[in-house]
Amino acid sequence: MATAAHKVTPKEANANPPPEAVVVRFAGDSGDGMQLTGGQFTLSTALAGNDLATFPDFPAEIRAPQGTLFGVSAFQINFGSASIETAGDAPDVLIAMNPAALAVNVDVLKPGGLIIADEGEFTDRNLSKAKYESNPLEDDSLAKWQLMKLNISQLTLDAVKPFGLGNKEALRCKNMWTLGLALWMFDRDRQPIIDWLKAKFAKAPDIAEANIAALNAGHAYGETAEIGGQVGQLHMPAAPVEPGLYRTVTGAESISLGLVAGTQLAELPMFFGGYPITPASAILHHLSRFKEYGVTTFQAEDEIAAVAAAIGASYAGSLGVTSSSGPGIALKTEAIGLAIMTELPLVVVNSQRGGPSTGLPTKTEQSDLYQAVYGRNGDAPMPVIAARSAADCFDVAIEACRIATRYMTPVMLLTDGYIANAAEPWKVPDMAGYERFPVQFLEEAPESGFEAYARDEKLARPWVKPGTPGLLHRIGGIEKKAGTGNIDYSPENHQQMTDLRRDKVAGIAVPDQEVEQGETSGKLAVVGWGSTFGPITQAVRRARKKGLDVAHIHIRHIWPLPKNLGQLLKGYDKVLVPEMNTGQLKTLLRDQFLVDAKPLNKVSGQPFRIAEIEEAIESTLG
């Protein structure tokens, strides 16, 4: 049945030395369960002790018409025995469940890489939907790769026959057959997946058993079938990582856990107001299950109500949190201004996606930095911090809660669609190691008398909960008189309050900027923020191995920027800023420090490839 059309030249085969990392891409129709397959493969990879990074890449349509090019859903995983920072540039293995999946993904496959294709789906009809004039499995168009044609559909049907499922139901087990084969290829334990299937289909044991049978059949196929050529088992040794307890975590999970931890460290209940939006909804889903941690979630009627309710909750003594993606953040903007004016704590999470307008809901971008830093009416400063990876989201969320409550201010936390969906191993933190920052509500008037807009040494005003006797006061969006907080439109007062709001945010204590790799001065600094951390790290590492004088600086605190950053950047001859936008951090750095920051931009909805940044480093130094 299986034929490995091995037409790879020795040179091509040698282009891939014995791997310390492998990139596998599962691709199929959006109904084929590729995200599920990828997720379970990720789990098994993590359990095998490999370091890993993933990249789920799926269409905006829930069920795009079957077999079409735009309905292709893919999941890429990079795993290895060394440190992994990105989901990998080019896959070594492509699993294509239909012609469209092959057509969309094959071009990025490494020369000499392996294609596993379900030939059962390469029908005339599907070929034409994928715009193939002839069957690529039969002509020589795939000759620079290794090709393994398997009738996965038929093999699956055979495997699940005893369970008496209908044809459609039976074919749904295809992804588990494929996963079984992949588990065999990388010498993985099937048991965790079997346990997961049993739990998932606890109410439908037949379906569970059919899926397990498909999984086992795929595995057995690898073990027993005569698969020729280079297709064989590969065992990836565990990556050398710090000892400890690990789990996998996506950015959305990590942010949710970080928000719970942050409110617990502040000793406050959390109120989360949300409205469904891709790719931010997962945070609402996660938090709605954490009620025993004092979390109240509220699915509001719209984005504005979500943030407004969060502000109301902060006013009443909870920590108000809201989350959205760019278009939703735009709707929340007026209310964020209210939180700035009334100086109430609030955490706003923006899981950025491609824009403007509806843009690319399921694709990633970093194009909301201007919106976060500058995008409000009036002089309305607010702190902005950005997460660099799924695991980093945890600490950044805690930091957001800390700043919001200590400085009585809304805080914008930037993450993006890539981080939100991508999974990575995470060393479970020791919570005893986190500094608590319990909130002290004002409960009695100080001797000098109570003023709602009095200032502490950080310029924060007191937080008074309604229900507190003796401290009755009114707040609102109209300009406040310094001190009393009464309405005051007078020119001197507006000048004073505008300066005060600016100084309060500018004075937020931000740790000094450190250099991730390389020296603190030299020929070139590559400066990034957010999810470009992975590719920049790898690109700079490779460039430094080649002996290039390049350093990597990654900024968490976007606003206010670290105090030493300007001086630090001036120590390099050149500054390169890779961003998934048209140059927003670049503008900020130029504006704040008058440095000649050069942009490297990508707005394709896909993360940077390592090679793209590596080339830019070389040409900048060239």
Partner 1 sequence: MNEMTPVKTTLKDWESDQEVRWCPGCGDYAVLKAVQRTMPDLGVARENTVFVSGIGCSSRFPYYMETYGFHTIHGRAPAVATGVKLANPQLDVWIITGDGDALSIGGNHMMHLLRRNLNTQVLLFNNEIYGLTKGQYSPTSRVGTRSPSTPFGSVDRPASPCAFALGSGARFVARGIDVNKNLPAVLKAAHAHQGAAFVEIFQNCIVYNDDVFAPFAAKPNAATSQLWVEHGEPMLFEKGTKGVALDRDTLSLKIVDVTDGDWQGAGVLVHDQTNRMIAHLLIEMPFGEFPMALGVLYDDPAPTFESAVVEQNRAASEGKVADLQKLVAKGQTWQVTKEPRVE
556 to 595: interface string for partner 1, x by CB under 8 A: ----------------------------------------
Backbone torsions φ then ψ of 187, nearest 5 degrees: 55, 55
CB closer to partner 1 out of 164 and 237: 237
242 binds partner 1 (CB under 8 A): yes
- Among 80, 133, 134, 91, residue whose Cα is nearest residue 116: 91
Of 247, 458, 502, 546, the residue at the interface with partner 1 (CB under 8 A) is 247
98 binds partner 1 (CB under 8 A): no
Residues 18-77 that bind partner 1 (CB under 8 A): 43, 46-47, 49
Cα first-last separation, the chain:
52
107 binds partner 1 (CB under 8 A): no
- Which burial class, exposed, middle or buried, applies to 594 when counting CB atoms under 10 A from its CB (0-12, 13-18, 19+)? exposed
Within 48-143, where are the H helices? 99-105, 124-129
Residues 184-203 that bind partner 1 (CB under 8 A): 192
User: The tokens of 287 are what?
Assistant: 């938090």
Of 17, 18, 166, 244, the residue at the interface with partner 1 (CB under 8 A) is 244
- Among 70, 60, 73, 68, residue whose Cα is nearest residue 31: 73
Residues 382-401 that bind partner 1 (CB under 8 A): 394
Q: Please tell me whether residue 273 adopts helix, strand or coil conformation.
A: strand
302 binds partner 1 (CB under 8 A): yes
Residues 327-346 that bind partner 1 (CB under 8 A): 334-335, 337-338, 342
CB of 281 to partner 1, least distance (A): 19
317 binds partner 1 (CB under 8 A): yes
450 binds partner 1 (CB under 8 A): no
CB of 125 to partner 1, least distance (A): 40
Of 124, 133, 226, 301, the residue at the interface with partner 1 (CB under 8 A) is 301
CB closer to partner 1 out of 189 and 591: 189
513 binds partner 1 (CB under 8 A): no
**Euclidean distance between CA atoms 594 and 551, whole angstroms:** 20
318 binds partner 1 (CB under 8 A): yes
**Euclidean distance between CA atoms 600 and 399, whole angstroms:** 29
45: Cα within 13 Å, side-chain hemisphere: 32
CB closer to partner 1 out of 122 and 271: 271
311 binds partner 1 (CB under 8 A): yes
* Mutual angle of helices 326-342 and 303-315, in 10-degree steps: 30
270 to 289: interface string for partner 1, x by CB under 8 A: -x-x----------------
CB of 312 to partner 1, least distance (A): 3
Q: How many CB atoms lie within 10 A of CB 564?
A: 14
433 binds partner 1 (CB under 8 A): no
Of 1, 82, 316, 509, the residue at the interface with partner 1 (CB under 8 A) is 316
Number of residues that bind partner 1 (CB under 8 A): 75
Assess contact for 591 and 561: CB atoms under 8 A.
no
- Among 622, 618, 574, residue whose Cα is nearest residue 599: 574
Residues 451-480 that bind partner 1 (CB under 8 A): 465-478
User: The tokens of 154 are what?
Assistant: 């038929």
Examine residue 279 and say whether the peptide bond preceding it is cis (omega within 30 degrees of 0): yes
CB of 207 to partner 1, least distance (A): 21
CA angle 421–422–426, rounded 5-degree value = 120
List beta partners, residue 325: none
111 binds partner 1 (CB under 8 A): no
